[in-house]
A and B are shown apart, each in its own frame.
Chain A
Amino acid sequence: MTTSVSLRGLRRVGARPAFLDYLVSLWDYRHFIFYDAQARVQTGNEQDRLGRVWLVLGPLLNGLMFYLIMGVILKSGNGIENFVAFLIIGVFLFQMSTRAITASSRVINANKNVIQAFQFPRASLVLAVNLRELLSNIPVLITMLILIIVLPPSEEITWRWLLIIPVVALQFVFNLGVGLILARVVSVFNDASQLISYSMRLWMYASCMFFSIESFNDMPTLKTIMEYNPLYNVLDLARETLLYGSAGEWRSWVILALWSIAALAVGTVVFWRGEETYGREL
C-alpha cells in the first residue's frame, strides 16, 4: 500500500538551514551565547581553592618557567630589549589562543548532551567558548599590563597601548575561526584532538614566544614563513605597541587582519556544513 502525502508546509526535522538563515539564527541566540559564556566563567575553576586566581597564576607560573629555562639557563633572550616583558607578552597572549582553540575543538563532545536535548544553532557553542575565554582573559590581560609597568625596566605608557585592543580583537576572531574548523574536524575524527596539543606547541615555537625572529636571519625561508604566521604577528604587534613605542608595521596588521577574516569565513562555512551531524553518536 502506498500512502500518498503532501509534504507541502513540512520541513525536514533537524535540517540545516540556508547559510544566511543560519547566521540570523545565531544572532537570535545571542542571549544564549552570552549567558553560557558568562555562567561558565564563574564556574570554571570552582573546584580549586584559589578559584579564579588560577586564571592569572597559570600564565604567571608558565612565564616564570620559561624565564628560568630560556632566559637564565639557555640565555635565548640575549640581545632582546626588556626580555622579561617580551616573554610575558609572549606567554600570556599565546596562552589565550591555546586555551581558546583547544576548548573549541572539544566543544561538540563536551556538550553532546546539550546538543541532543535542544535544537539550536550549534555554532553558538563555539562562539560561547571563545567568548568565555575572552572574558576570563580580561583579568589576565590586566595582570600582563601591570607586570610590564611594575617589572624593571618599566615601560612608558603611551596612547599606543590602546592598540592592544584591536590586536586582541583580531586574535579573538582568528581563534574563533580556527576553533570552528577544528570543532568540525574533531567531531568527525576524534583522534585529531590528540594532535592538537602537539600542534599548538609547535606553533608556539614558530611564533617567537621566547626568542627574537632575528635568530633566524641565516634561514630566510623559515623566517618568511614565520613572518606570515598570524600568531607571530599578534605577539609582534603587542610587543611593538607596548614595549617598543611603535604602532607596528602596517604589513603585520594587514597579515593578521587577513588571516582573521579568512579563518572566520572558512570556519563558519565549514562548521555550518556539518550542522546536521553534531548530534550523532561516535
Chain B
Amino acid sequence: MGESSELNFVEGTPSVVIDKVSMTYKTTSRSRDTPASAGSTWQMLKQNLGRTTAVSVTALKELSLVVEHGESVGIIGRNGSGKSTLLKIVGGQIPPTAGAVYATSTPVMLGVNAALIPGLSGDQNIILGCLAMGMTRQQIDDKYTAIVELSGLEEAIHMPMKSYSAGMGSRLRFAIAAAIDPEILIIDEALNTGDAQFKDRTRKRMLELLGQAGTVFLVSHSMSTVLDLCNRAVWIDQGELLADGAPADVVKYYRLFTQRLADGDRVGALKLRRRMINDLQVADVSDRNSLRRSKV
C-alpha cells in the first residue's frame, strides 16, 4: 500500500470517505479445539459445564474507499462477505472497530430493517419512525398519506405491528425509511421481498430517490440491478476488497469466480481471487489538511 509513491489527487470534495475501516465481532463459540481426550474428572467437569470460548470474528478487514458526488456504488459479494456490515458502518448504525467514515451529510439507510415497536399500531409507528429520523410534525403530516399509500396497508395501518405478516411489516418499514429524501442513500438488497405489486411501487420510489440522491450505496445479489443502477461496483469477499471499478468489469470477474466455485473448481477460484487482489489499487487515504484530521 504505502510503498508506491504515486499520488492521486481527488478533485473537489468527495462525498463519502471510508478511511481504513475494519470490523471485528467478539462472540462465543461452543466448538472445542482439543478433543475430549485426557479423561480426567476435572476436564470432564469443565466440559460438562458447557464452557463456551470467546472468539473474535473478522467481518471486515481494513478497507478504504473514496466516493464522490454522483457516484452510485454497487456492492457485490457472496453471503457473509461483509457487505451488510460495511453498509451499517457507512450508515453509522454500528461503529467500526478501527478507522472512520467521513461524509458530507448523515447517510440514510433505506431498507426493511428499520425496526419499530411491535406493540404500537402502524400509524403510530409511522409517526415515531419519522420523528426518530428528525422530521418535524409538519413534514410528517405532509407525507403521512404518501407513506400509508406506499406501504399498501390500507385499513391494517391502525392495527398493532405485531399482528402484521412479515411482508406487511417490511412494507411498512420500507415506506417509513423512504419518507425522507437523503443526499447520501444506502440501499440494502432485501427490497425484493413482497408481491409483484409492491415490488413495482418500491422500485418506482427507489428510482425517485436514486435520482435525487447525490451518492448511492447499493447492496444486491442481482447483477442486473447493479449493472442497471450503478456506475461503480465494489466486490467484497470474506471481508476483503477484491475489485473496484466499472460495474461491467467487476461483475464479469465476480460471475467467473462464482461459476468456478459452483463447478467445484476451488483452485481456479482462489487463483482468480489472488489475481484480483494483486491487480487492485488500494486507496490509501490521506487527508490533504491532515493537521486538522484529528479534530474532525
Known: A3-B284, A13-B101. A8 touches B289 (CB 8 A): yes
Residues of B within 8 A of A120 (CB): 132-134
Stretch at the interface among A32-40, A130-138, A220-228, A245-253: A32-40
Verify A35–B131 contact, CB threshold 8 A.
yes
Q: Which residue of B lies closest to A36 (CB)?
A: B128
Residues of A within 8 A of B92 (CB): 13-14, 119, 279
Interface check A9, CB cutoff 8 A: yes
Interface check A29, CB cutoff 8 A: yes
Interface check B13, CB cutoff 8 A: yes
Q: Which residue of A lies closest to B283 (CB)?
A: A3
Verify A5–B101 contact, CB threshold 8 A.
no
Q: Digitize A101-129: 1 where CB-to-B-CB distance is under 8 Å, 0 elsewhere.
A: 00000000000011111111000000000
Q: Top 8 closest A-B pairs, CB basis? A: A113-B115, A14-B92, A32-B131, A43-B119, A10-B102, A3-B283, A118-B132, A13-B92
Stretch at the interface among B45-53, B104-112, B256-264: B104-112
Interface check B270, CB cutoff 8 A: no
Stretch at the interface among B4-12, B72-80, B164-172, B226-234: B4-12
Complex alpha-carbon distance, A146 and B219, angstroms? 60
Q: Digitize A1-24: 1 where CB-to-B-CB distance is under 8 Å, 0 elsewhere.
A: 111111111111111000000000
Verify A7–B8 contact, CB threshold 8 A.
no
Residues of A within 8 A of B90 (CB): 13
Residues of B within 8 A of A118 (CB): 114, 129, 132-133
Complex alpha-carbon distance, A6 and B291, angstroms? 11
Interface check B55, CB cutoff 8 A: no
Verify B95–A279 contact, CB threshold 8 A.
yes
Verify B9–A114 contact, CB threshold 8 A.
no
Interface check A28, CB cutoff 8 A: yes
Verify B283–A7 contact, CB threshold 8 A.
no
- Nearest CB of chain B from residue A115's CB, rounded to whole Å: 8
Interface check A154, CB cutoff 8 A: no
A118, A120, A277, A280: most-surrounded residue (chain B CB, <10 A) = A118
Known: A9-B13, A117-B109, A117-B115. A14 touches B132 (CB 8 A): no
Cross-chain contact of A2 among B107, B134, B284 (Cβ < 8 A) = B284
Q: Digitize B206-222: 1 where CB-to-A-CB distance is under 8 Å, 0 elsewhere.
A: 00000000000000000
Residues of B within 8 A of A9 (CB): 13, 104
Residues of B within 8 A of A218 (CB): none
Residues of B within 8 A of A43 (CB): 117, 119-120, 160
Residues of B within 8 A of A277 (CB): 95
Enumerate chain A interface residues (CB-CB to B < 8 A). 1-15, 28-29, 31-32, 35-36, 39-40, 43, 46, 113-120, 276-277, 279-281
Known: A28-B134, A116-B93. A11 touches B129 (CB 8 A): no
Verify A114–B10 contact, CB threshold 8 A.
no
Interface check B91, CB cutoff 8 A: yes
Complex alpha-carbon distance, A10 and B19, angstroms? 12
Known: A6-B287, A9-B104, A29-B131. 14 other contacts (CB 8 A): A1-B6, A1-B283, A3-B64, A3-B283, A4-B8, A5-B14, A6-B10, A9-B13, A10-B296, A39-B128, A40-B117, A114-B132, A119-B133, A120-B132
Q: Which residue of A lies closest to B140 (CB)?
A: A31
In the complex, 20 of the A-B residue pairs with CB atoms within 8 angstroms, ordered by the A residue number, are A2-B4, A2-B5, A3-B10, A5-B13, A5-B66, A5-B287, A6-B13, A8-B292, A9-B13, A10-B296, A13-B102, A28-B134, A32-B132, A114-B115, A114-B132, A116-B93, A117-B113, A117-B115, A118-B133, A281-B94
Q: A-B pairs with CB below 8 Å: how many?
A: 158
Interface check B238, CB cutoff 8 A: no
Complex alpha-carbon distance, A115 and B93, angstroms? 7
Complex alpha-carbon distance, A280 and B88, angstroms? 11
- Nearest CB of chain B from residue A23's CB, rounded to whole Å: 16
- Nearest CB of chain A from residue B152's CB, rounded to whole Å: 21
Verify A5–B285 contact, CB threshold 8 A.
yes
Residues of A within 8 A of B81 (CB): none
Complex alpha-carbon distance, A119 and B119, angstroms? 22
- Nearest CB of chain B from residue A12's CB, rounded to whole Å: 5
Verify A280–B94 contact, CB threshold 8 A.
yes
Residues of A within 8 A of B117 (CB): 39-40, 43, 114
Complex alpha-carbon distance, A9 and B133, angstroms? 22
Cross-chain contact of B10 among A5, A29, A46 (Cβ < 8 A) = A5
Complex alpha-carbon distance, A8 and B292, angstroms? 9
Complex alpha-carbon distance, A2 and B289, angstroms? 15
Verify A39–B120 contact, CB threshold 8 A.
yes
Complex alpha-carbon distance, A116 and B64, angstroms? 23
- Nearest CB of chain A from residue B146's CB, rounded to whole Å: 19
Q: Which residue of B lies closest to A118 (CB)?
A: B132
Residues of B within 8 A of A8 (CB): 13, 289, 292
Verify A35–B127 contact, CB threshold 8 A.
yes
Complex alpha-carbon distance, A39 and B107, angstroms? 28
Verify B127–A1 contact, CB threshold 8 A.
no
Verify A10–B103 contact, CB threshold 8 A.
yes
- Nearest CB of chain B from residue A67's CB, rounded to whole Å: 34
Interface check B2, CB cutoff 8 A: yes
Known: A13-B91, A13-B92, A117-B109. A4 touches B104 (CB 8 A): no
Verify A7–B17 contact, CB threshold 8 A.
yes
